Copies of this chain bind each other. A is one copy, B any other.
Amino acid sequence: MKENIKNIFVEGAISPTKIATSIAHHQSKTNIGAHAIFLGQVRADQIEGKTVHAIDYSAQTEIANQVCHEIREAAFSKFDLSCMHIYHSLGTVKSGEVCFFVFVSSAHRKPVFESLTAIVNEIKAKVPVFGKEIFEDQSHQWKVNQ
């Protein structure tokens, strides 16, 4: 059952260097003509006079990875994609840092636009990840996705 289920989780923020390395790895795949990338960045939202300083992410990782695997397989069936990568942070990610990275590649641009939107929306809706917004005074509230 557990065929090739990748672990999407990384500890802490996703660095611009990691993103660059991921892009560079695709330069040997010369059938690719188009990449699309989505990055989720932690906002310093103001809530009742307090500012979000960081989000502490936790997850039910087994279910999360299984659901991402299913989202991935469905996207490969539906869209003409060469590659797809999904990463999400666990633990503390400060405001301004990247917590979510989705990367799709194809010969042409249409599949990357269509699949990127679909994959990001599905992950937000279906993957059991929980964000705890930490304010500067160390109080917190639980994040609610729009």
Contacts and interface: CB of A to CB of B under 8 A. Distances in A.
Interface of A: 16-17, 19-21, 23-24, 26-44, 95-98, 105, 107-109, 112-113, 116-117, 120-121, 124, 146
Contact of A19 (B23, B33, B120, B124): B23
Contact of A95 (B21, B30, B105, B124): B30
A117 to B, nearest CB: 5
A24 B97 CA distance: 9
Nearest to A21: B16
A39 B43 contact: no
Given A37-B36, A108-B146, A117-B113, A44 B16 contact: no
Q: How many copies does the complex hold?
A: 2
Contacts of A29: 96
Given A20-B20, A109-B120, A113-B116, A34 B26 contact: no
16 contacts: A16-B23, A19-B20, A27-B41, A29-B96, A30-B44, A31-B44, A33-B40, A33-B41, A33-B43, A34-B39, A35-B37, A36-B36, A37-B38, A37-B39, A109-B121, A113-B113
A19 to B, nearest CB: 6
Given A113-B117, A116-B113, A107 B43 contact: yes
Contacts of A20: 16-17, 19-20
